Amino acid sequence: MELNNTILVTGAAGFIGSNFVLEWLRSEQAKVITLDKLTYAGNLRNLASIAGNPRHEFVRGDICDEQLVADLLKSHCPRAIVHFAAESHVDRSIKSPAEFVHTNVQGTLNLLQKSHQFWLELPEQQRTNFRFLHVSTDEVYGSLGPEETAFTEQTPYAPNSPYAASKASSDHLVRAWHHTYGFPTVTTNCSNNYGPYQFPEKLIPLILLNALEGKPLPIYGDGMNIRDWLYVEDHCEGIRMALATGRPGETYNIGGNNERTNLEVVTSICDLLDELLPDAKIGHRRNLMTYVNDRPGHDRRYAIDASKIQKELGWTSRTRFDHGIRKTVEWYLANMEWVDEVRSGAYHEWLQLNYRER
């Protein structure tokens, strides 16, 4: 058994996963096998532009399915797994934590076990060419105070939500498989992503679409929670570099160096829409901002120190927030058919469940 010039991407119909696959096929030569369960946040329309590409094959399935994962590895012999598949919305994790543990912990465990077994069956000289890249989040590090230095790869884990705890657990499993079994893993921890194809329960598309329709713009607490915003295409480039030249067993933080309060993000979207698509009936969209009860355990600030990946691999974020948010708003305005499809009845039911009590 020998490795093929193929990679397996899990969670490939989701927001970041689909952006990664699209960029990969533009930039690389390896074939891509995409695996996605197609839950509420997975959308095949994200991959519609590559439906006929001979270097792409989509498989619908669950990363917790042991036989499916084993069969995919045996039949395609990929040289790498890029693992995006995860439940990722903090509010949903507060309502349904068991689903997050099942997918994020049990699913990652299954991938590790099956890919490790596959790796052991490779000829010894080929094992050094295989990689398991695990995509994680800065939320595993907890919350920063206003004057604290940014998260580094040495920051102790302190997850504060069921989502963050499940991702921290998966990170620890990936680390253990390297240190115990010598399995060639690489982990990346990113800051808040934004850009095309993001499911509209997250802050930026939620605010954007509500503002378009003149609906209230819900802002948790005082709106002063700070996040480091990373344009998704920059993130995907960082992952490709970590996969290509990252050292096995290492973790690389990928951040945008764009700290903004939630209030700053919301007002920037309002102002862009007033510029690009003014509506006399709605008026100034900042007037739609509505403060609601804060999320339980809401982390105050995240910030990423990405100096390690910059020094070792040469990656740095290239998109300033003001440029990236304009591109994002313009993409949604140009793709309202995609928006209408993903905002199904189940999506509206979720909004009612999450915001009704606030």
Residues carrying an active site annotation: 138-139, 163
- Cβ atoms of 29 and 53 within 8 Å: the answer is no
Backbone angles phi, psi at 209, to 5 degrees: -75, -35
* Element of type H or E holding 66: helix 66-76
Query: Based on C-alpha coordinates, what's the Rg of the chain?
Result: 20
- Cβ atoms of 45 and 22 within 8 Å: the answer is no
Q: 104 CB contacts (<8 Å, ≥6 apart)?
A: 86, 87, 163, 166, 167, 169, 170
69, two tokens: 């994962």
In angstroms, how far is CA 9 from the centroid of its own chain?
Answer: 13
Q: Which residue, 84, 69, 75, 76, is CA-closest to 116? A: 69
Tokens 């590409």 label which residue?
A: 53
Complete DSSP assignment for 279-318: -TTT--GGGGEEEEPPPTT---B--B--HHHHHHH-----
281, two tokens: 């009936």
